[in-house]
Structure 1
Amino acid sequence: MKQRIALTLGVACMAYAALASAKVGPDEAGKLGKDLTPVGAEKAGNADGSIPAWEPAPKHGNLSGEFPHDEKIDAEKPKFTINKGNLAQYEAKLTEGHKFLLKTYDSYKMNVYPTHRQVDYPAEVKEATVKNAGTCEMIGTDTLDNCKLGFPFPIPKTGAEPIWNHKLKFRGDYAKRYNNQMIVQRDGQFVLTKIIEDAAFYYGSPSKQVPLTKDSGEFLRYLSRTIAPPRLAGTFILVHEKAGTGEAGRAAWLYTPALKRIRRAPTVCCDNPYEGTDGHQFYDQVDMFNGSLERYNWKLVGKKEIYIPYDSNKIAGNTIKYKDLVRPKHLNQDLPRYELHRVWVVEANIKQGTSHTFGKRVMYLDEDSWNIVAEDDYDNRGQLMQFHEGHLVVAYNIQAASTVPEVIYHFNSGRYFITAAFNEDKPYDLSVKYNDDYFNASSVQKMTTK
């Protein structure tokens, strides 16, 4: 009997080892802060100098009331423009989505500017990231253990690890943002949806430093309130975001004025359409990608130099109106800024026995910030059906980076969807604070009566 128990335990231990990603050794971890930045990017530029060495910018600016801006960068002129006529010259450094847009629309172009690598993070986040390299592990694709505050996998070995770096990136302690959304028709017409979002970050918060372990996985709380148009106004979505799957994973609630009560909402997941987007954004496309990884096999393809949206202060700022940003079939491409950067390329292929509208997803993550900045999405026949583009801005006021706005191009309909725009409202407010119970279902129910 003892032998059988011992054998069973041995098999269980081997299964655990097979599922857990390995920590990097001391020699590899020792590269962080030397050849690599403290969060895992290559410090040096590329061979021809078109990508410069990392030069982090100092922290500056107020926590509220400031739109993204950098006077020096914003005054620069394009180095060159990529269009349908010269596509062949540059296509090796383009996503499939950008190539599709350039081939399909004569009016689509990409203005390429000098590259800057100024993203930095607070000292506590960088120090914690270095420690995580030798302690943090992943069990399967959705459970993390021995991870604290910093990026969990600065030297990734599997495809799921960079995605967790994106999901757990530092964003401060709390945030309030105005999220304006537009479904843009082929003729350029759109209706504005206005959402106010509140968030509390637990894992990536220097003041909280809530660790992730195999037994405890909550890392953020999120509440959205739709305020326009009238047919959607009064809708609330509450999420407790957790590492793990099933009952151990995400907990979500939905309130709609028609029902007049808040209820658990397991459908706030995966490729279910986000409320009010008419199917133009799935729940797992919020913030480029979020939620469970369990439906896919994740492959780390490697690094590549490509042109990506970067230092996009102009289209995120308050000098541009939505009518100036929107054009038929695609954004007004006079406005976005593209730079050459190194990215991590991750490929996700649907697991047998599971389902998702996307059979394959190819994601591109900026090496300096771990933000997903672009995603090629394929249907289950292998055809490119969507392209998701995040325009990255550097938040000097908290030392971080994020993508605003984000655009999802629907190639089957010719429409596109803009989200996370706040040009005509207020910028992020990172000075706010919330009590934990603000993000409870009972508290949200009370808000609906005000």
Structure 2
Amino acid sequence: MSTLRKTLIALTSLALVVPIANAKVSSSEAARLKTDLTPFGAVRAGNSDGSIPEWTGGLTTPPPEYQEPGQHHPNPFPEDEVLYTVTSQNMEKYADILTEGQKALFAAYPETYRVPVYQSRRTHAAPDWVYKNTFDNATTAELANKGNGVKKAYGGIPFPLAAQTSKDGLEMYWNHVTRWRGVYLVRRASETAVQRNGDYNLVTSQQEAYFNFYNPKGSAKSLDNMLFYYLSFVKAPPRLAGGAVLVHETLDQVKKPRKAWGYNAGQRRVRRAPTLAYDTPIAAMDGLRTADDTDMINGSPDRFEWKYVGTEEKLIPYNNYMISDPATKYKDLLWAGHINPKFARYEKHRVHVVEGTLKKGKRHIYSKRVMYIEEDSWSAATIDQYDGRGELWRVSMAYLKNFYELPSTWTSLDVFHDLQARRYAVQSMDSEESATTDFSQPIPKSRYFKPSSLRRRGTR
């Protein structure tokens, strides 16, 4: 082999390695987070026709009607009206701002599915200390272990400039997985699988999550590869009440897989759940979502190649306060085929489109995933999933809103559509619960999230 060819091969190999080994940016590049970019790396300016406004700080103050932690969120924009509605009859007019999944839903349910579009409001916001950590992360954070983890990042978005500098889809994946959602929360919510005829059976649980990545007293060095702890206790129906699940979610799951335990109240036994990862079907949801569909997408990214496609303008669920309003009843919300569009709110926002293609030799029920990540919050708003034949199979949607008491952008409802089965699963419904998400509770001690606590707390 010639010296020239050896040199070219070496340079090519180096070029492929550099994005993984050196994702941090310079101080001058990071300074843009205080000028033309938001603290999370989105473009502050609106779009050319004004349909997407300038970001001016987001929604940081609750409306006067919000009185105490755990209260359902009053709609901060009660006077907003629908600007226009996309239907199967006029969807071609709006094709450029619809996702492929939305188009497929129009085709599947032409008589009932519609997208009500409201004024776009860039309400996303976060606390100043999260902004500061994000700024610091920009110049230190790196992908670790061939992209299967993150290092030198803590308490903020790891790669806020991913869309401006590296244009690395894997960095954007991690921005979603590690996004800001508070430190510790307790919530009561319901989930269900809705059958073709509209029938459903609710499962209600109390959920608790401690986001170790955002522990105010921690640091990048103290993380010990632990992203968060999650506890869920079933409250209803009676036949399932008392059952519990505990998850220790690691950051790099190739280095150290997540640990999960289940408690069966009838048997009064705690058992390890070693397969709660990747495409393991969630039995309680009739297999309509996989383990790594939860929270739109989660866990190790190692079975897919992630590519940044570009930033586009799309209609996504946003500022969805009607869905979680106590006046909204589950029987009115849950239609056959899809949720009742009457309660949904869509807005035009810029999204980062990231495509994950199954690696050769790897196994997963999805051959491709296309994520539409909202630019302000790094939340995946919608994801299209393709089967082994390359056909669009499942469509996930997060009905986002601002939890203004934090503040943070998170979901009021996650919906997982199966286009082939014509069924869907719904997670995080809380409009009929006596209380919703409460971020004000004190952080428990570490032993609280040990398997030994499941039997003691998982009672009927």
The TM tier, using the shorter chain, reads over 0.9
CA shift in 2, pair 1:117/1:431, >3 Å: same
Which residue pairs with 1:162 in the alignment?
Answer: 172
Which whole-Å CA distance do the structure 1 matches of 2:334 and 2:459 have between them?
Answer: 36
Which residue pairs with 1:266 in the alignment?
Answer: 274
Which whole-Å CA distance do the structure 2 matches of 1:449 and 1:88 have between them?
Answer: 53
Which residue pairs with 1:66 in the alignment?
Answer: 71
Match of 2:455 among 433, 439, 445: 445
| TM-score, with structure 1 as normaliser | 0.92
Which residue pairs with 1:130 in the alignment?
Answer: 135
Which residue pairs with 1:84 in the alignment?
Answer: 88
CA shift in 2, pair 1:346/1:439, >3 Å: same
Which whole-Å CA distance do the structure 2 matches of 1:315 and 1:59 have between them?
Answer: 21
Q: Does 1:147 align with 2:148?
A: no
* Contact persistence 1:272–1:283 (CA under 8 A): yes
After superposition, where does 1:186-225 map in structure 2 within 5 Å?
Answer: 186-205=196-215, 207-211=216-220, 216-225=224-233
Deviation at 1:232, TM superposition (A): 2.7
Which whole-Å CA distance do the structure 2 matches of 1:361 and 1:18 have between them?
Answer: 21
* Contact persistence 2:182–2:439 (CA under 8 A): yes
CA shift in 2, pair 1:317/1:210, >3 Å: farther
Which residue pairs with 1:432 in the alignment?
Answer: 441
CA shift in 2, pair 1:25/1:16, >3 Å: same
Which residue pairs with 2:335 in the alignment?
Answer: 327
Deviation string for 1:315-347 (max 9, x for gaps)? 122110001101111111122010000011111
Which whole-Å CA distance do the structure 1 matches of 2:352 and 2:54 have between them?
Answer: 17
Match of 1:102 among 90, 97, 106: 106
Deviation string for 1:125-173 (max 9, x for gaps)? 0011111111000022222111121100101131111121111122222
SS at structure 2 position matched to 1:248: coil
Which residue pairs with 1:299 in the alignment?
Answer: 307
Deviation string for 1:151-208 (max 9, x for gaps)? 0010113111112111112222210111211211112111111121111111123x23
- Alignment size in residue pairs: 436
Which residue pairs with 2:347 in the alignment?
Answer: 339
Q: Does 1:179 align with 2:189?
A: yes
| Amino acid aligned to 1:143 | G
Deviation at 1:243, TM superposition (A): 1.2
For structure 1, the 5+ residue unaligned runs are: 1-12
Deviation at 1:21, TM superposition (A): 4.3
Which residue pairs with 2:240 in the alignment?
Answer: 232
Deviation at 1:229, TM superposition (A): 2.2
* Contact persistence 1:63–1:431 (CA under 8 A): no
* Contact persistence 1:210–1:219 (CA under 8 A): no
SS at structure 2 position matched to 1:334: helix
Deviation string for 1:264-303 (max 9, x for gaps)? 2221111112242221221111111111111111111121
* Contact persistence 2:108–2:419 (CA under 8 A): no
Which whole-Å CA distance do the structure 2 matches of 1:408 and 1:248 have between them?
Answer: 28
* Contact persistence 1:245–1:294 (CA under 8 A): no
Which whole-Å CA distance do the structure 2 matches of 1:25 and 1:272 have between them?
Answer: 41
Deviation at 1:18, TM superposition (A): 6.7
| Amino acid aligned to 2:94 | Y
Match of 1:389 among 386, 397, 416: 397
Which whole-Å CA distance do the structure 1 matches of 2:399 and 2:184 have between them?
Answer: 22
Deviation at 1:216, TM superposition (A): 2.6
Which whole-Å CA distance do the structure 1 matches of 2:218 and 2:52 have between them?
Answer: 34
| Amino acid aligned to 2:161 | I
SS at structure 2 position matched to 1:162: helix
Deviation string for 1:3-26 (max 9, x for gaps)? xxxxxxxxxx97986742421223
* Contact persistence 1:168–1:204 (CA under 8 A): no
Which whole-Å CA distance do the structure 2 matches of 1:223 and 1:28 have between them?
Answer: 40
Which residue pairs with 2:414 in the alignment?
Answer: 406
Q: Does 1:422 align with 2:430?
A: yes
Deviation string for 1:378-429 (max 9, x for gaps)? 0011010110010001011001010121111111111111111111002101
Deviation at 1:27, TM superposition (A): 2.9
SS at structure 1 position matched to 2:147: coil
| Amino acid aligned to 1:57 | L
Deviation at 1:58, TM superposition (A): 2.7
Which residue pairs with 1:317 in the alignment?
Answer: 325
Which residue pairs with 2:118 in the alignment?
Answer: 113
Deviation at 1:246, TM superposition (A): 3.9
Which whole-Å CA distance do the structure 1 matches of 2:18 and 2:306 have between them?
Answer: 18
Which whole-Å CA distance do the structure 2 matches of 1:28 and 1:48 have between them?
Answer: 28
CA shift in 2, pair 1:406/1:212, >3 Å: farther
Deviation string for 1:221-266 (max 9, x for gaps)? 0011122223433221111111112462312112223543212222
Deviation at 1:110, TM superposition (A): 0.6
For structure 2, the 5+ residue unaligned runs are: 1-12
| TM-score, with structure 2 as normaliser | 0.90
| Amino acid aligned to 1:42 | V
* Contact persistence 1:133–1:153 (CA under 8 A): yes
Which whole-Å CA distance do the structure 1 matches of 2:412 and 2:367 have between them?
Answer: 26
Of 46-55 and 263-272, more deviation after overlay is shown by: 263-272
Which whole-Å CA distance do the structure 2 matches of 1:411 and 1:212 have between them?
Answer: 44
Deviation string for 1:27-60 (max 9, x for gaps)? 3212112110011011000000000000222333
Which whole-Å CA distance do the structure 2 matches of 1:49 and 1:102 have between them?
Answer: 27
| Amino acid aligned to 1:26 | S
Deviation at 1:63, TM superposition (A): 5.9
Which whole-Å CA distance do the structure 2 matches of 1:16 and 1:52 have between them?
Answer: 38
Deviation at 1:212, TM superposition (A): 5.8
SS at structure 2 position matched to 1:74: coil
Which whole-Å CA distance do the structure 1 matches of 2:67 and 2:173 have between them?
Answer: 29
CA shift in 2, pair 1:212/1:323, >3 Å: farther
Which whole-Å CA distance do the structure 2 matches of 1:180 and 1:296 have between them?
Answer: 31
| Amino acid aligned to 2:452 | S
Which whole-Å CA distance do the structure 2 matches of 1:164 and 1:195 have between them?
Answer: 28
| Amino acid aligned to 1:159 | G
SS at structure 2 position matched to 1:346: strand
| Amino acid aligned to 2:248 | H
The two structures, once aligned, show a CA RMSD in angstroms of 2.0
